[in-house]
Structure 1
Amino acid sequence: MAGLTTGLSAKVAAASLSAVALAGAAFAVPAQAATVTPQQAAGGAPQSQISNLQVTPEVASRTWFEKFGNDPRVLKLQASSPAMGGRQIPLAVIPAGEPNRPTIYLLNGAGSAEQNSDWLSMSDVVNFYADKKVNVVVPQAGAFSYYTDWNVSPESNYLRGPQKWETFLTKELPGPLEARLQANNKRAIAGMSMSATSSLLLAQHNPGFYDAVGSFAGCAQTAYPAQYEFLRLTVNRGGGQPEQMWGPMGSPTNRYNDAFLNAAKLRGTELYISSATGLASATDLPGYHMARGVDPLVAHIGSAQLIVEGGVIEAAVNNCTHNFKAKLDQLGIPADYNFRNAGTHSWPGWHQDLERSWATFWRAFYAK
């Protein structure tokens, strides 16, 4: 699913986060601790080389770097990907500030940092995690890639060269990066929209590697007709086709990358899963934004886009997510759910997820 990137969204993202209750999540039965090390997950794969970020003109122009380039709370690093021909991936890292702490891999949505629709540009992630004593790693690339390994590179727009994001994120990066951060062997992976799907898949493909997963408004189903076309809507924006990514609908690779079909592989992992109904909430209406200084014309145009486009996307996500809950319930796999009665496919809901998911991650890291 594509995250909405509008001028209005940026205004919303700049607003301070409201306090949210963590009740309920903290009382779920804890899962088993992850036991697989980065070296075991890598299985002999070549490793990333970690270095300080080379600030190219392209990097310097990104919103996230303009905001945090001189902020000492954010480490600006880069990591090579042997599987992607040595490509250098920018990393924004919020360090724990002390050794032997867990790591959260926080993935961006469809447009990622390439379209300035990333966590650092559009949310309060740095302030929120600054005092949590956990390492937070945000790869600042990967637009429209689903953070997966593609069968064929589209060689178009954002998707040029080998697209081997799962290999990078699960085999090449964790070992050297966590060693540099002096992290322990506890970790979580989370994402919103497009990468909410990816987070579930990477955990399923690497059992025992992640203690927790956060899926914020994503669709677990990918090997079904309507949901396969959802993939197309997203990867088309980057110049690709789902057939290039995972092969034809229902193919073995497509089914392997369907988190609904493979839900049983999440047993033992702490889960936080969210979606809204797609109905407009207070934060989607023009008056909310005009009260915060947004130009009335911008507020009305942005709200119309959120209510129509964002509403349709989130309604589809909501259907996927309730189907996924039914599957997990059938399997007896618990999760912390945040089903919002209103809200479109936009940043205010993901702001809430950023905060509420911390109870799930904390339990996975410290209650075992």
Structure 2
Amino acid sequence: MRRRVVAAAILAIAAGLLSPMIATPATARAASVVRVDELSATRSAIFVDSPAMGRTIQVQVLHPPGGGSRPTYYLLDGLDPGATQSTWTNATDAEPFFQGKDVNVVLPMGGQASYYTDWAADDPRFGRYQWETFLTQELPPLIDANFSGNGVNAIGGLSMGGIAAFVLAVRHPDMYRAVAGYSACPDLSIAEGAILFSIANRGGNPLNMWGGPASPEWAAHDPAVLTEALRGKTLFLSTGTGIPGPHELEIKPQLPENIFFGGPIEFGVDACVTSFEQRLRSLNIPARVEHNAVGTHSWSYWQDTLHDSWPTIGPAIGA
């Protein structure tokens, strides 16, 4: 049963705020590259005119300096993604870590509290969110054309981005060979209250995403419902316990509340990951799940788990 008490509280906050601006389908016009800025020999910013969202979206790409075709890893940010630089490159060593690896790493900019999904209605705070269409239809052919992608993809993310990675994977199973979630809860029946609260906490109306808890759109996006679509993929999930560990005194750009609540948040994530792992096991779907003895909901631990995940994700896509 969904966590109705929390959800009801969020809906009470949001009552009367549902935007009348209903999202309209993208036009037949294809997405196009406005420009590409070469930030270094191995990092570029690509600016994409997105018909689905009606604006230009910046995406940064970590890539090898030479030619030849290669796979692509779409790596999604958390609840408060950077506007000009992914927090993956701002708060972790992702850029030097991927240097020398034969893979494109795609880092979308923006999308605060979006869950990288197509929202049912435009939002007064966030505008038009059609991230699923952007990430699965508009962006991939442009990445392949501009960065020698070979059509072999993986997707991963932390927290909000990790939830989205699993949602996109079950809704577009032919697109991804591997999926990774770092401190992410792929069971939406457990995460629902936290998702609704996080959107409202950032000033958006959570009803504009998939509607209220009774909406069938929640089940239509839930990896715990659509789990069978993950069969045959390489899966990685990692979580801490919320117990402070070796990184607590490090200063990192992170969700501000995580300085105080990163332990309880990660404790809840751990319980959710355990539940989702049991769901996978019940269906005999293999997955690598790392339950670390310590660790809070913060960037230094996500750097560690990014490193830990690559021996699983990289070979699955031939990187």
- Report deviation, 1:193: 0.7
1:135 alignment partner in structure 2: 104
2:183 alignment partner in structure 1: 217
- Report deviation, 1:319: 0.8
- Report deviation, 1:112: 0.2
Q: C-alpha root-mean-square deviation of aligned residues, in Å?
A: 2.3
Describe the superposition over 1:167-218 as per-residue Cα deviations: whole angstroms up to 9, x where unpaired.
Answer: 0000111012211212112110110010100000101101121011111111
Code of the residue aligned with 1:92 in structure 2: it is: Q
- The answer to whether the aligner puts 1:174 opposite 2:140 as a matched pair is yes
Alpha-carbon distance in 1 for matches of 2:85, 2:107: 13
**Which residue of the other structure, out of 291, 313, 319, is the alignment partner of 1:339?**
291
Is the CA contact (8 Å cut-off) linking 2:31 and 2:49 kept in structure 1?
yes
Structure 1 alignment gaps of length 5 or more: 1-43, 55-68
Identity %: 34
Is the CA contact (8 Å cut-off) linking 1:214 and 1:271 kept in structure 2?
yes
Greater strand share, structure number: 2
2:273 alignment partner in structure 1: 321
**Which residue of the other structure, out of 33, 52, 57, is the alignment partner of 1:83?**
52
* TM-score normalised by structure 2 residue count: 0.85
SS in 1 for 2:70: coil
Greater helix share, structure number: 1
2:71 alignment partner in structure 1: 102
- The answer to whether the aligner puts 1:93 opposite 2:64 as a matched pair is no
Is the CA contact (8 Å cut-off) linking 1:280 and 1:307 kept in structure 2?
no
Is the CA contact (8 Å cut-off) linking 1:144 and 1:237 kept in structure 2?
no
Structure 2 alignment gaps of length 5 or more: 1-26
Deviates more, 1:115-124 or 1:93-102: 115-124
* TM-score normalised by structure 1 residue count: 0.74
Q: In the superposition, relative to structure 1, how do residues 337 and 188 fare at CA in structure 2: closer, same or farther (>3 Å)?
A: same
Deviates more, 1:202-211 or 1:250-259: 250-259
- The answer to whether the aligner puts 1:202 opposite 2:185 as a matched pair is no
- The answer to whether the aligner puts 1:274 opposite 2:234 as a matched pair is no
Alpha-carbon distance in 2 for matches of 1:213, 1:150: 22
- Report deviation, 1:363: 2.2
Is the CA contact (8 Å cut-off) linking 2:74 and 2:107 kept in structure 1?
yes
1:359 alignment partner in structure 2: 311
SS in 2 for 1:229: helix
Alpha-carbon distance in 1 for matches of 2:239, 2:278: 14
Alpha-carbon distance in 2 for matches of 1:267, 1:46: 34
**Which residue of the other structure, out of 209, 223, 247, is the alignment partner of 2:211?**
247
- Report deviation, 1:306: 4.7
Is the CA contact (8 Å cut-off) linking 1:313 and 1:345 kept in structure 2?
yes
2:83 alignment partner in structure 1: 114
**Which residue of the other structure, out of 71, 76, 83, is the alignment partner of 2:40?**
71
Alpha-carbon distance in 1 for matches of 2:241, 2:73: 27
